[in-house]
Amino acid sequence: MPLDGNIRRLSLEIQNEWDRTNLNQPNPLKLDDQVVQESLKLAPPLKFEGGTHLGRHLVPSTHQDFGEDDQSRNKGCDPNHVDGLVNKYTLNGYDIETQPPIGIVSENNRFSIRMLGGFNRGKACLVFGQAFYIVDVYEFTNPLDKRVATSQINHHKDLSLSQTINDYVKEIVNAAESNEIESTETAIESLANRVAGGDKTNNQIKAIVSGAIKLIGSVYANFTVYSSKKGTSAGKYTLASWLVSYNIAKQGIEHRTDEELISQGYISYCAAEGDNKSTWARAIYHGQRLGIPVWIFGYSSTRVDDLPDFRKLYMEEFEDYKSIMIDWASSITKFTLEDGIDEDAFCVKFAGFLPQHVKPNASKGGSPTEVGLVNQKGESIVFDYLGNCLTLS
């Protein structure tokens, strides 16, 4: 891009060409350099991540390129919106407190501006008879920052068409198909928040993420969901395969004698709730009968938005159920618990959580990948079947 000296601005050659083109052209909005300077005071240029402002200029309509691929909304020309803009120009003229549309210098023609917004304003100027318009010219360090800016410029209160959830979905899908972002849930969520943050609610942004994932198709799952099934229909991630991969005894007592279980030293179970009644019943029965600890490994059976919160609740459920069992034992033995219980003698223990928040490239920012058995915070811990219940840590 042509620049003058050390100041990042458009070359005088480009500005002179535009001035020459604008000379004696229809100008019912009475736009001139003074209006541009006043607008800079009342509506300063927006700041975009990765963007550099190259100046606010009067760009001839013949030098404004409105490619639909550069527009953030899924649209052609909206006649009603164009009429509204024309009426506003007729009644009020140009509003110097309004942010002007933005654009970048075309790669194919240095005198032409690829407009990233103002699609319908361009049509309105044509109808109104305005031969040039005020444009903020930028350059961006990469295509993704330009894409984000294209969406953010519509987050204003002037007469404009709002962006729909589908518009944002389209932007994210296009970014993934153009290899501007990785096809991962983390990357999709990050971009959704960048382009729609401040415009859509949290629930709407979740809908944008969900819609983009469905359309992109093959998305790396940042949240691993484990299946309790067996065989080929179980999928890639199963509870059984995870236990085996970390040298943990397979769940339950199936296909093992009592002697083999005692020799094994403990029994393992996986449970999606801390107070899973079926798991607790089996754990107490077999643990008490064989005199060995029963370790419960926690996990979420479905994707959850707040994994730490889920794990906190899980541990609370575990402790509540444990308290119920202790109260029951105390009531039938008429034994008081002034000094608490013998934790070593209580056979049901909580080991930790299966890793579920994962990323393909942890070194590229965001939360680190969870590896192996983890605690409530997602930090790796070592399983020791002779150790203490995690709730006691």
| Range in 120-124, 141-145, 223-227, 383-387 with the lowest mean pLDDT | 223-227
More confident residue, 335 or 199: 199
- Mean pLDDT calculated for residue range 75-98: 84
- pLDDT tens-digit series, residues 89-117: 999 999 999 899 999 999 889 899 999 88
Which amino acid, 287? G
| Range in 185-199, 217-231, 283-297 with the lowest mean pLDDT | 217-231
Edge-to-edge order in the sheet of strand 64-65: 51-60, 132-140, 102-105, 113-115, 64-65
- Split at pLDDT 50, 70, 90, the class of 219 is low
d(CA 147, CA 50) in angstroms, rounded, equals 11
CATH topology of domain 3-159: 3.90.1530
Q: So what's the pLDDT on residue 214?
A: 81
pTM assigned to the model? 0.58
**Could you state, in order of their start, the residue ranges of all structural domains in the chain?**
3-159, 163-220, 232-392
- Split at pLDDT 50, 70, 90, the class of 344 is confident
Q: So what's the pLDDT on residue 213?
A: 84
Q: So what's the pLDDT on residue 274?
A: 96
Edge-to-edge order in the sheet of strand 294-298: 267-271, 294-298, 348-353
Asked if the model's pLDDT at residue 361 lies above 60, the reply is no
Q: So what's the pLDDT on residue 6?
A: 39
Cβ burial of 381 (10 Å; 0-12, 13-18, 19+) is middle
- pLDDT tens-digit series, residues 13-68: 999 999 999 999 999 999 999 999 999 999 999 999 999 999 999 999 999 998 76
- Split at pLDDT 50, 70, 90, the class of 4 is very low
Cβ burial of 212 (10 Å; 0-12, 13-18, 19+) is buried
User: Positive or negative, the Cα torsion across 42, 47, 192, 299?
Assistant: negative
Q: So what's the pLDDT on residue 248?
A: 96
* Range ranked top by mean pLDDT from 225-239, 284-298, 339-353: 284-298
